[in-house]
Every structure is written in C-alpha cells, then in structure tokens.
Amino acid sequence: MKTLTKHRPLEILLVEDSIADATLIAKILAQAKISHNLRIVEDGVEAISFLHREGRYDKTPRPDIIFLDLHLPKKDGLGVLAEIKSEPSLRNIPVIILTASASQEDITKCYQMNANCYLTKPSTSEDFCRTVKVIEDFWLNIAQIPLN
C-alpha cells in the first residue's frame, strides 16, 4: 500500500446508516492501494460530533475526505453538508454525496451547498462495487485534496 504522505494515511469519514452499504464500502476500500483509515458513523448528529471532536471523538483525527449519505437519522445529510460547508475549519474537506436519491432537487441542492461530487447508489451489488472503485480511483488516487 502506498502512503498518502510520508507521515500518515488518508483519513476517511463515511456517514452511512445502512450497515450493508457501509460494510460493502469498507470491504472495497480495504483493497485500496492507498493507505487509509476508514471511520464510520451512522447518523448526522454523530457525524457533527465526530467533525467537532466532541465526546468519544475528542481524539479522532479530522477527516481528509467525507462520504455522505443524504437519508440519515437524527440529522439528514443536507443538514450535515450545510454545517460542514458553513464552517471555515471544515469547508475545505471534500464531501462526496453517495446516496440512493436520484432526485434532481437533491442533486441541485447539494451542488448549491458546495458538495464536491454527487453519486447515486446503484441498485445491484456489482454496480455498487464498481461505483465505489471509481470513487477510490478518482478521489483517493488521482485527485489532489487538501490535507489537514
């Protein structure tokens, strides 16, 4: 595995309430060619606590990239995205929307709120795997992202 920097692996935050989707994404990323730490939270409130390093997250590193579902319990993904992009200390973290919604309204809102990418989850596991590998190839291997 190559290392993102000489000092540490890439920090990835996955905000996903579907255990099946989170497990599949984790399995695919485990095969990634880039050294990384994947941390998973299951709702929007937990995501904000993670990002603010509150409570049990007080010692967690700030993510370098976020994969965000829109349909989350407690606080939806749009609320999480709005908070991320409105805070100067968080707004430069790339946020990849990975959701079941193909709604043009959701797509437009996310881009208006400065999401970096919007992807609709495919319905088959084979297509889902292919999508996550494309995300990995582009966002983890090709794109240059700001490191914290």
* Residue with tokens 């809102």, as numbered in its chain: 109
Instruction: Give the domain ranges of the chain.
Output: 10-139
> Residue 45, SS3?
helix
The first and second tokens of residue 129, run together, are 């795997």
The pLDDT tens digits of the residues spanning 98-148 come to 998 899 999 999 999 999 999 998 888 788 888 888 888 888 777 777 776
Strand pairing of 36-41 and 117-120?
A: unpaired
Percent of the chain with pLDDT over 70: 95
Please tell me the pTM assigned to this model: 0.88
Fold of 10-139: Rossmann fold (3.40.50)
DSSP state of 1: -
Residue 7: the pLDDT is 58
Number of neighbouring beta carbons within 10 Å of residue 66: 25
Confidence of residue 81 (pLDDT cuts 50, 70, 90): very high
Match 């000092």 to its residue by tokens: 7
Whether the CA torsion 45, 114, 65, 68 is positive or negative: it is positive
